[in-house]
């Protein structure tokens, strides 16, 4: 609570591989925040095991993710980069918050419903409890802003409800126990959708390999995927999410990778057929990912260096998280450790 700068925190599950959507819709927008905020960015490995993971793959992927976070511009000197399981306070606060969350509230979560439908043979208690652990992630750091996708809005609402409930039970107006966070959701048009299914977000565990561009895809595969992207039968280039979700998505990608405005894109490509637009998008994505991939290769080769970054991040995160946990325990009447 003594932080002088506002705090932002976000996390991505190390399940699947990071996509262009994760980069343009999330990580790239996290980078400039460190100028004005204390920034905490996690790999949420505890969340990832709500769905079965292969241990060797998970370990490798966590190292890949952290190298990609850095390669995408998150400097470990300016951001606290860490793995959720390294900071014990997450699981400990989640337990406390479990006792302040109603079964009915968790039952209403759409992500739980979706994921249970997809994992009928493993509807575990962790999957049900997932939003409470997420609330703990956020509340431990007194985060004021949480950059997340639209799909996480409901979890943020729950976090706010639980924080307010706990504050009402155990805090005073002058000294609330928790800071109540706000979601930071990117505007429509800044969101990157699937190439094959442009009405759903580009997902790292999506249904088709060709639906997503992965950050480590080689140039020829990027070009192939963009050329096969779903559009429509016309030739008209305009931003229209309802009538032209595929073309609009290509415009979003081009604009996010090059900075070109929608107006200028329309002027250059309208009426020319979609081939030219796709070629420009493919080139722009390849160019945008080239430096990221080169930096990644260097970072990933130094595994000890990556582990040192994570240890340092966990140490810095723990200092803040442990203090919050002690504040919560004190409010509950637990004997100080
Ligand atoms: N549930 C988030 C997602 O699937 C990931 C996440 C876990 C998260 N803990 C968080 C995001 C805390 C923001 C803050 O995208």
Nearest residue by C-alpha to atom 14 in ligand 1: 10
pLDDT less than 70: residues of the chain: 1-3, 188-189, 206-207
Instruction: Examine residue 272 and state whether it is found in any structural domain, yes or no.
Output: yes
Which atom of ligand 1 is the closest one to the Cα of 147? 13
Q: What is the whole-number distance in angstroms between the Cα of residue 156 and the centre of ligand 1? A: 9
Q: Do 154 and 237 fall into the same domain?
A: no
DSSP 84: G
Q: What is the pLDDT of residues 98-125, one digit of tens each?
A: 999 999 999 999 999 999 999 899 999 9
- Taking the CB of residue 98, how many other CB atoms lie within 10 A of it? 15
Q: Tell me whether residue 202 is in a domain.
A: no
Residue 138 Cβ contacting ligand 1 at under 6 Å? yes
Cβ–ligand 1 distance for 140 under 6 Å, the answer no
Tokens found for residue 17? 């591989």
Q: Is 326 exposed, middle or buried (0-12, 13-18, 19+ CB in 10 A)?
A: middle
Residue 190: inside a domain, yes or no? no
What is the Rg, in whole angstroms, of the alpha carbon atoms belonging to the chain? Answer: 21
Global pTM reads 0.94
Can you name the residues that pair with 39 across neighbouring β-strands?
A: 8
Look at residue 170 and tell me if it is in a domain.
Answer: yes
End-to-end CA distance of the chain: 20
Contact between 21 and 201 (Cβ < 8 Å): yes
* 144 and 220 together in one domain: no
Residue 76 is given by DSSP the state T
CATH number at 228 reads 1.10.240.10
Same domain, 278 and 151: no
Q: Residue 159 falls within a domain, yes or no?
A: yes
pLDDT digits (tens, 9 = 90+) for 147-197: 998 889 999 999 999 999 999 999 888 889 999 999 998 876 678 999 999
Number of domains in the chain: 2
Q: What backbone torsions phi and psi does residue 38 show, to the nearest 5 degrees?
A: -85, 125
The domain spanning residue 15 has which CATH number?
3.40.50.620
Say whether both 240 and 255 belong to one domain: yes
Evaluate: CB of 152 within 6 angstroms of ligand 1: yes
Q: Is 321 in the pocket of ligand 1 (CB under 6 A)?
A: no
**114: containing domain:** 7-185+303-332
Query: 34: Cβ–Cβ under 8 A, 6 or more apart, which residues?
Result: 74, 75, 78, 79
Q: Are residues 74 and 129 in the same domain?
A: yes
Give kind and range of the element (H or E) at residue 65: helix 55-71
Distance (angstroms) between ligand 1 centre and the Cα of 145 equals 13
- Rounded to an integer, what distance in angstroms lies between the CA atom of residue 110 and that of residue 7? 27
Residue 192 placed within a domain: no
Same domain, 121 and 25: yes
Query: What positions carry a catalytic annotation?
Result: 115, 201, 204
From the CA of 295, how far away is ligand 1's center (Å)? 26
Ligand 1 pocket, residue 203 CB under 6 Å: no
Note whether residue 89 is domain-resident.
yes
Helix (H, G, I), strand (E, B) or coil at 193: strand
Let me know if residue 254 belongs to a domain: yes
Shared domain check, 172 and 291:
no
Distance CA 216, CA 94 (A): 34
> Would you state the pLDDT for residue 174?
86
Per-residue pLDDT, 1: 46
Among residues 331, 158, 324, the alpha carbon closest in space to that of 146 is found at 158
**Whose alpha carbon is nearest atom 6 of ligand 1?**
11
- 176 and 227 belong to one structural domain: no
Q: Both 237 and 316 in a single domain? A: no
């Amino acid at each position: 609570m003594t932080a002088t700068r506002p705090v932002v925190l976000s996390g991505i599950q190390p399940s699947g591989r990071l996509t262009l959507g994760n980069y343009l819709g999330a990580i790239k927008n996290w980078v400039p925040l460190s100028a004005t905020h204390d920034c905490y960015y996690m790999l949420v490995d505890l969340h990832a095991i709500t769905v079965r993971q292969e241990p060797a793959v998970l370990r490798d992927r966590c190292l890949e993710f952290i190298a990609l976070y850095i390669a995408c511009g998150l400097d470990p000197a300016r951001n606290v980069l860490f793995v959720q399981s390294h900071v014990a306070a997450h699981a400990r606060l989640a337990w406390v918050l479990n006792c302040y969350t109603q079964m009915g509230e968790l039952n209403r979560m759409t992500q739980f419903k979706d994921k249970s439908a997809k994992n009928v043979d493993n509807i575990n208690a962790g999957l049900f409890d997932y939003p409470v652990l997420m609330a703990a992630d956020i509340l431990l750091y007194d985060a004021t802003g949480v950059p997340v996708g639209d799909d996480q809005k409901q979890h943020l609402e729950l976090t706010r409800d639980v924080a307010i409930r706990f504050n009402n039970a155990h805090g005073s107006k002058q000294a609330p126990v928790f800071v109540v966070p706000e979601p930071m959701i990117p505007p429509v048009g800044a969101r990157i959708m699937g190439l094959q299914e442009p009405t759903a977000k580009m997902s790292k565990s999506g249904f088709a390999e060709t639906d997503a561009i992965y950050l480590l895809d080689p140039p020829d595969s990027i070009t192939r995927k963009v050329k096969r992207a779903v559009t429509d039968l016309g030739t008209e280039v305009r931003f229209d999410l309802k009538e032209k979700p595929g073309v609009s998505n290509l415009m979003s990608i081009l604009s996010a990778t090059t900075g070109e405005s929608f107006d200028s894109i329309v002027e250059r490509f309208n009426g020319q057929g979609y081939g030219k637009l796709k070629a420009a998008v493919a080139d722009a994505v390849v160019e945008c990912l080239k430096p990221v991939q080169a930096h990644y290769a260097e970072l990933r080769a130094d595994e000890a260096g990556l582990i040192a970054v994570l240890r340092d991040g966990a140490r810095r995160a723990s200092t803040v998280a442990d203090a919050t946990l002690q504040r919560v325990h004190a409010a509950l009447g637990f004997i100080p450790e």
